[in-house]
Amino acid sequence: MDIGKTAGDSFEYAQEGLFGKWTKWFLLVISCIIFPLFIGYTMRIYRGVHPSPEPDDWGTMFIDGIKLIIVGIIYALPVIILEIVIIGSAGLALFMGTPHQSVHPGAVAGLVGAVLAGVLVLVIVAVIIGLVATIAYVRFARTGSFGEAFNIRAILATIGRIGWITYIFALIVMGVIVGIIEVICLLIPVLGIVLFLLLLPFIGMFSARYITLLYDSAGEA
């Protein structure tokens, strides 16, 4: 897979879909504000629609968005539960003693070490789930099946055909590109937030197309 070509194709896809089509761009900005609408729109891109689809049939877009958000929440549950356990355990350990009891330095060091270890595990789990969920979103968009969104064996097979190193590196490249755009916007006082909102359709369209091409590079199962 040529990552540079994928990024270039994704940029052109978003550019052709938005530049000069100001009504479409405005409607997509509105859909970004009503978050499930834009998530539903990205599902159309995940399905491989080319050129970029029009933001119509808003009811279907909204329902599709809700469905994909549900898939995302289910994937996020292990991370949320682990985070609650880590924070809860740390808080409980800190406040178990009475106000008159002194905390032994060794106990504090042990607690800090345990929390850091927990955070490390949390980050690793979040990264792994994120890698799986990215393919799951496209798989769900293509099949319309919640079962297929959680078909871990098929998802891992898809990533395997892409190549784990290639897949991870490609997502890092996408993250850097999007991150640079976001940082530039947020560095501009006040107007940066408005600019960021206006660029959200472009960022979302670029990212969805990029992930779609990444998924399609695996070929048919």
What integer best gives the mean pLDDT of the chain? 90
What pLDDT shows up at residue 104? Answer: 57
Judged by average pLDDT, the poorest of 41-50, 99-108, 168-177, 201-210 is 99-108
Mean pLDDT value across residues 45-69: 94
pTM recorded for the entire structure: 0.89
Residue 13 or residue 94, greater confidence:
13
Task: Give the mean model confidence (pLDDT) for residues 176-201.
Answer: 91
* Residue 112: per-residue pLDDT: 72
HEC per residue, 36-103 = HHHHHHHHHHHCCCCCCCCCCCHHHHHHHHHHHHHHHHHHHHHHHHHHHHHHHHHHHHHHCCCCCCCC
User: Of 73, 79, 109, nearest to 93 (Cα)?
Assistant: 109
The per-residue pLDDT for 101 is 53
Statement: residue 66 has pLDDT above 70: yes
Query: For the chain, how many residues are written?
Result: 221
Q: Which amino acid is at 37?
A: L
Mind listing the pLDDT tens digit for each residue in 92-110? 666 665 455 555 555 566 6
Average confidence (pLDDT) over 144-157: 96
Asked whether residue 191 carries a pLDDT value surpassing 60, the answer given is yes
pLDDT band for position 212 (cuts 50, 70, 90): very high
For the chain, give the percent of residues with pLDDT over 70. Answer: 90
- Return the structure tokens found at 153: 């064996």
